[in-house]
Chains A and B, each alone.
Chain A
């Protein structure tokens, strides 16, 4: 209320029509009218929804609002009770626990909706209707304010005396530069040109093939038309931090299916077995949806399809290069081994890829 007196606040904004003495004698409603005028707000329409107090319509509206708050109360109470009482522990033999989360959600929703609905209905049904208009005003400060503020800032700058202390100027400049470098230098760690690691995987001559549960693979393990995901049988072969690049899909073809090999890769397969990198050459997803009759390998991410019978040539979708093929054979003890590492980089393209 004291703001009414402070006419110096915003020059140019509408000022109450009345002086403070008169203002204090006004009714609360008229006081509010006058007060909003300070902010340039004019109330253009105001009407009591229930001019005659205590009608049935008013009571009904009040009951509706009250009902919402009761619902909010009941919902909140039910939430607490359900949280304590309902079974929540995972139980394999029944799904009684399955109600826990939905019921909590439902009761909390009832409570929050009750409050929200009650507040909105209160405003819509009971509170006095009112429409106000506020005048727009320019966003800048007055000329006088701008000049005085500039004077204060300039004076402060002058008091530091930096303009006539070259030593401080230089030392400060230097330290600010060093601080900037401190922020930029760590970014250098992100700029790194890959050397050989993108062209190498965990496979080497004689590395055995191992399944995800650490079984070595022998030719009799897979039926015709079967597939197996294999990893290098080395210590870090299953480590997805180190050797996520080495995942290979070992496929045993059906009788009658043959793979036409690429030039110089005639010996990459072993009898009816072939092994391809499982990492899609488009975006690096695991391409492992294998159709054993058509010999197609699908990548689930962007629907690339590779025809394994044409040596994993991409026949559909965004992948542009065939899947790299791993040369395999069987060692003296009858286990599958890699003959050497892939002869090209696996996975998606990158700049340095030949």
Chain B
């Protein structure tokens, strides 16, 4: 602290105090605004529990519309009769409407280019069109159907869902549904954008490299439990404070060492500095 002659400007400390106070208020306001905005957006982005009632119809009109869409958007890679095209796209015979729903509703299909893994993107078709394509593919090849009814069950199943999730899903998708790396550029995607129906159809059809979990292996009640668990997990607060990606001890340790120890080092330097 330097000794400043206190007689030169009598009012100076007061204006400085005022400036500090107003700065603090501005900072608090800015932080508050960002926090409220984030909470609103996050709440809006959180998918609500859904009851699937809009399964594809067997209405010939819908199927014909689906066929039109298929012939415009999908035929190049999947072939005229869904038989697939060598080195471009697989056969769709027997994949079923559930697979179509998962691939199209998450924007993975139509695919932009061939690479290690087809990525999630903004869906190209809307919900109605997706279901029309699904109805067409189902009418030609058959296969896993889009589930209907209550997709989450009741909250009593959460503990069971957690157990099943850790046993069957967590090895690839991470214990908090954050996803993880696989071989050669492939990865298990994080689940934060998944809705109930995409979780179900993913389990039913095993998209890309994910194993299939049919109804004889995980019953409908068990799938409800897993879905409920995943969605509840996403909506949960983080009682310990900052989630830091919910990736577990590695990033938490990194933050503790770099930020925490860094701050302590700076503080030690400041304490030891000559004043």
Contact = CB atoms under 8 A, between A and B. Distances in A.
Interface of A: 49, 55-57, 60-61, 92, 95, 97-102, 105, 120, 124-125, 129, 212, 220-229, 286, 288-294, 296, 298, 300, 305, 316
Given A102-B241, A226-B213, A292 B182 contact: no
Contacts of B217: 221-223, 226, 228
A125 B211 CA distance: 67
B183 A125 contact: no
Contacts of B171: 286, 288-289, 300
Nearest to B215: A223
Closest 6 CB pairs of A and B: A98-B237, A95-B237, A223-B214, A56-B6, A291-B209, A223-B212
B241 A101 contact: yes
A292 B4 CA distance: 75
A221 B237 CA distance: 37
A290 B236 contact: no
Nearest to A294: B209
Interface residues of B, number: 38
Given A92-B232, A288-B171, 11 more contacts: A57-B1, A60-B13, A221-B217, A222-B214, A223-B214, A226-B212, A227-B211, A286-B171, A289-B172, A293-B208, A293-B209
B182 A298 contact: yes
Nearest to B90: A293
Contact of B206 (A60, A124, A223): A223
A296 B167 CA distance: 19
Given A98-B237, A101-B239, A226-B206, A61 B1 contact: yes
Given A222-B214, A226-B217, A98 B167 contact: no
SS of B interface (majority) = loop
Interface string B37-66: 000000000000000000000000000000
A101 B240 contact: yes
Contact of B236 (A55, A95, A305): A95
> Could you tell me the dominant secondary structure of chain A's interface residues?
mixed
B239 A291 contact: no
A98 B239 contact: yes
B155 A92 contact: yes
Interface string B127-149: 00000000000000000000000
A212 B171 CA distance: 15
Contacts of B270: 120
Contacts of A222: 212, 214, 216-217
A303 B186 CA distance: 13
18 contacts: A56-B13, A57-B6, A61-B1, A95-B235, A95-B237, A97-B237, A97-B239, A98-B239, A221-B216, A222-B212, A222-B217, A226-B213, A226-B214, A229-B168, A286-B171, A289-B171, A296-B183, A300-B180
